Structure formats: structure tokens, C-alpha cells
Chains A and B, each alone.
Chain A
Amino acid sequence: GENVEQHPSTLSVQEGDSAVIKCTYSDSASNYFPWYKQELGKRPQLIIDIRSNVGEKKDQRIAVTLNKTAKHFSLHITETQPEDSAVYFCAASPGKLKYGNKLVFGAGTILRVKS
């Protein structure tokens, strides 16, 4: 089945610096790759996503890139702010009919933005 690996597990950056989180997936049929932000005690919140027919997507300070050949995708946050501190999860959708819209999540990255 699909497996998603996420690195690093923790990331500390100075306010204003950039942060990059990387994920790899195993199933070449995967076709949808969302990123979720989860603050302590709160629900995972969809912040950006990308589909397999797109290489890059940007939304203000966040961007996601996808390399289908290498089977990896990355989250880029520029000009980080203290409120960006949270746990970030990447996920992949296996894309097979029998799984419906199942998402397979990475283990998460704790991002700390120091002011």
C-alpha cells in the first residue's frame, strides 16, 4: 500500500526565514497531495494542495512543489511568522477506486518559529 515519509520531524527557524518540509510517497498512482496544519488541540486544517498534473502551486507565503518522477513533494513557507508554529502533515491519495478518497499521512513536522 501507499507509504508517505516526511522530513524533518522538527524544524526551528527564525522569524522571517523560510521553512521547507519534504515528503516522499511510494505509490506512483497517487494523484492528490494536500498539506494540513494542526495547532495544539485543534483540527487539521487544509492549507494548500496540489494535483498530479501540476508541478507547483503558490498561495501567498506558502507554496507546494511536486516531482512525480522522484515521487516527492515539498511545502515551502516564506517570511515565517510566530503564528506559523504548528505541526504540518503531508498526505497522498492512493488514487485507486477501491480506496475512495483515502488519504495516507506522513508522521508530521513540528515547526517552531522563533521571534
Chain B
Amino acid sequence: DAGVTQSPTHLIKTRGQQVTLRCSPISGHKSVSWYQQVLGQGPQFIFQYYEKEERGRGNFPDRFSARQFPNYSSELNVNALLLGDSALYLCASSPGQYSYEQYFGPGTRLTVT
């Protein structure tokens, strides 16, 4: 799990702006999932990507989008930021589409003012 990296570590944005978060999975892992963790709550599933295709989607608005690159890294984009988007955004890496174990990165702390 130490191999999952995310950038940036922290980010402050204003309402209405757009943000892009980045994730690199553990070497050899082909699946990346994104989770949102609001303070005091458990992570909530946003997306899973495997082989550059979306394989699962949680209950998030269309303002949230993601993509995966040929090297299996991934970006999460959030448009028209709201105050409620302030959270820790976690990326999880796993070997395959239906692999059970998921290993989390350190997260990106997004603050929307």
C-alpha cells in the first residue's frame, strides 16, 4: 500500500472552480478506485477504473468525472466546486477489476471556500 501515490497533498479552491487530482497505483496494479471521505465519516465510493474504462460509479453528480491513462494512473476531476465538496479524496489501487484487496493512497485534502 505504500506504493500508491497521490498529488497534490493539499488544495484550496473557491466555489465554482474546477480541480484535478492525480493518482498513481502500485506497480503492476491495473485498477484504480476513487473515494470521498468527509470528516468524521467513512470513505464513499465515487468511481472505479480498469483498463482505462469506468467499471463502477457511485452516487455522485456529473460534476465528478475521471479517467485512466495507459500507464494505469488516474485523474479525478470535479467541476463547479461546492462547499460540500470539501473532503479527503482517496485513491485505492488493486490488481484487477474484481480483485478484493484495495490499498489506499495518502489522499488529497481539498478545501473549498
Partner of B98, one of A45, A89, A100, A106: A100
Known A42-B106, A43-B105, A101-B33: A93·B44 in contact at CB below 8 Å: no
Q: What 10 A-B pairs have minimum CB-CB distances, sorted nearest first?
A: A105-B42, A100-B56, A100-B55, A100-B48, A43-B104, A32-B100, A102-B45, A99-B56, A44-B104, A43-B106
**In the bound complex, CA of A105 to CA of B20 (Å):** 25
Are A102 and B42 in contact (CB-based, < 8 A)?
A: no
Chain A residues proximal to chain B, CB less than 8 Å: 4, 6, 32, 34, 36, 42-46, 49, 51, 89, 91, 93, 98-108
- Chain B positions within 8 Å of A101 at CB level: 31, 33, 48, 56, 94, 97-100, 102
Q: Verify if B72 is at the interface (C-beta below 8 Å from A).
A: no
Are A89 and B42 in contact (CB-based, < 8 A)?
A: yes
**In the bound complex, CA of A33 to CA of B39 (Å):** 23
**In the bound complex, CA of A91 to CA of B35 (Å):** 13
Q: Verify if B8 is at the interface (C-beta below 8 Å from A).
A: no
